[in-house]
A and B are shown apart, each in its own frame.
Chain A
């Protein structure tokens, strides 16, 4: 479940700005328990690119060699919107059941 959700966290981080892989890892790493293997972000980005949800371009960087920047596509925004709806419903249902069972 976590792995599936991370794809959408990446898309959400790209909503307002283009970012490069290391930057995404740092952002995701600030949230506890989200990203356990930083390296897996790179195959994940490739998958998002292959699915047309993200576009990748090389850009010059102030220090060091050019970097791959990732940008969300229109298709990516649509995928994120439908995930958010689904996620809200799912979260409410789980919360509801957990509360009824007295787990929280």
Chain B
């Protein structure tokens, strides 16, 4: 048997293998085919002047494409398609932060997008909703209030008294506390937004429904 004829037999086998592996992700499939091709070429090097039967025996030992495909289908973990966040998740984060400036309605839309997204878990949705309702608009409103200085003018002894009149500056909170509160109101929602963004971008974060479908799919493993 000539080398060319042997090559043709092996080539036919690899084509059948490639077809049998069509259920695998493309990169995994081409990797497996190249591994088997390498295996066959190493096995062939050990044969001196192989006959057609020798090559056919060799391919028999490698196994039917179906047997290899069945084994490959059981590879763990199952090929879970990553479902990173898309436009909905991006919009949700932006609206949670800034939507409050759109008469508060924008924030409500953000919450709706957050809860209908299939990327975040309930824990993260609760976090995104409660920290902080209204987003940065709340920070601005509250911050405006805590830093407001109200003036009160009082003259203890009446207008003709010698006691000097006093102007009292009063704030709802001491100035330092007000600044800390304001900083917190800005930083905390931003941190939560960054967290939500990172979760949404994480590869492998999948919709539970997709996972359920993959788990119930037959795996061919004995």
| A47 x B75 contact (CB < 8 A) | yes
A35-55 toward B: CB 8 Å interface, digit per residue (1/0)? 011111011101100110000
Task: Tell me if B8 is interfacial: C-beta within 8 Å of chain A.
Answer: no
Question: Which bracket fits the contact residues of B?
Answer: 20 to 34
| A38 x B39 contact (CB < 8 A) | yes
| B67 x A40 contact (CB < 8 A) | yes
| A3 x B75 contact (CB < 8 A) | no
Indicate whether A50 sits within 8 Å of B62 (C-beta atoms), given known contacts A37-B68, A39-B39, A40-B67: no
Q: In the complex, which residues of chain A have a beta carbon less than 8 angstroms from the beta carbon of B76?
A: 47, 50-51
Indicate whether A43 sits within 8 Å of B39 (C-beta atoms), given known contacts A37-B62, A38-B62, A51-B76: no
Distance A90 CA – B50 CA, assembled complex (angstroms) = 43
By beta carbon, the residue of chain A nearest B28 is A46
| A43 x B62 contact (CB < 8 A) | no
| A22 x B43 contact (CB < 8 A) | yes
B64 to chain A, nearest CB (A): 7
Q: In the complex, which residues of chain B have a beta carbon less than 8 angstroms from the beta carbon of A40?
A: 63, 67-68, 71
Task: Tell me if B222 is interfacial: C-beta within 8 Å of chain A.
Answer: yes
| B75 x A39 contact (CB < 8 A) | no
Task: Tell me if B42 is interfacial: C-beta within 8 Å of chain A.
Answer: yes
Task: Tell me if A77 is interfacial: C-beta within 8 Å of chain B.
Answer: no
B62-101 toward A: CB 8 Å interface, digit per residue (1/0)? 1110011001101111000000000000000000000000
Distance A37 CA – B100 CA, assembled complex (angstroms) = 64
A→B interface (CB under 8 Å): 3, 21-22, 25, 29, 36-40, 42-44, 46-47, 50-51, 64-65, 67-68
A-B contact pairs, 23 of them (CB 8 A): A3-B222, A25-B39, A29-B61, A37-B61, A37-B62, A37-B64, A37-B67, A37-B68, A37-B71, A38-B62, A38-B63, A39-B62, A39-B63, A40-B67, A40-B71, A42-B32, A43-B71, A43-B72, A44-B71, A46-B28, A46-B72, A47-B75, A51-B76
**6 closest residue pairs by CB, A with B:** A37-B63, A43-B72, A40-B71, A43-B71, A39-B63, A39-B68
